[in-house]
Structure 1
Amino acid sequence: MEKGSNHTPKALEKMRQRKWSKATRAKMQGKSHSAETRAKMSASHSGKTLTPEHRENIRKALLGHKISPETRAKIGKAALGHTRRLGMKHTPETIAQISATKLQPENRAKARAKKLGSNNPAWQGGISREPYGWEWDEPLRESIRKYDGYKCRVCGVPQMECDVALNVHHINYAK
């Protein structure tokens, strides 16, 4: 067979049968891998990430797979006493490391980008300027102050006597 060519369907089926044959399965039946072998297998798999297609294939394969009540009981029994990190705290060194990582400009930019627009938990569909509209900005407010001669329409106090710029909602109080 040439390099890069695929196996024929017949050859694939033959390999599948060999892989799942009784003889193949019987080799490890009643045995378990040694700690050294398990460590080697773990090391060979660490760092590998599954592609989205691979993850989707696994999801499809497990779709509709029901776990028996006996298996559920075994899983529950095995999980007893495993409370993850409940009650545990990070060491001061770890806290300092996390803090330093969060303060890096590239990480701050990534975190900010993840919370922009519709990704923000407080996002309400873009209605942040709803009462006024997008045209209600500082240049428009400044033009209104200029039109009024920088005096309050209600009390006539000039802006120079105020500590802040005049409020321009006084025209008709309608937003």
Structure 2
Amino acid sequence: MESAAAAAAAMAMVVVLGMGGAAAAVSGAGTAAGAGAGGIAPEADVSHHGHVSLWGSGLGVWVQSVNRGPSNLAGVTVRVRVSVSLSGRQELPESCLQADRLTVLCRTGALRTDEAEGRQLALELQLAGRPDEVVVRVDTLWNGGATDRNPRNNDHEVLAPATGDEYVF
């Protein structure tokens, strides 16, 4: 299981660095990108909120990612993990990739502290079979090395029964 986590982390770096191109992924007010004065990591409060919906073999995942600061972020990698295997290759937004049969990774782009709306992500995933329910986990895999003192608002687990209803996180 640990090798899968390592592979996912490596894929996240490809998503963030390969698509973003910037090796220094965090910027604070008045400091250079990366660690602030004295090598201290900048602080940012990333939060993810949204909803999931399961119908038949389709799973919709809608995520809004916001940075409450105090430092701006050049990008964040959001990880969406499901308890039921995805069915083959998924049609994903350009900013996303399928890391394995249970995981999708998406980059947000820059998350500035003054953006109330943050970044929106909408996924329509196809699951193997027609499960009665699925557990969806949404979290931050990578944030450029920033310190996040409130990770409770960016790590979520939602049980979605196959009702077609929206289950909020």
Verify same fold: TM over 0.5.
Answer: no
Q: Would you tell me which structure has more strand in proportion to its own residues?
A: 2
How does the TM-score come out when normalised to structure 1? 0.15
Q: Would you tell me which structure has more helix in proportion to its own residues?
A: 1
How does the TM-score come out when normalised to structure 2? 0.16
**More relative contact order, 1 or 2 (CA 8 Å, 6+ apart):** 2
The structure that has the greater radius of gyration is: 1
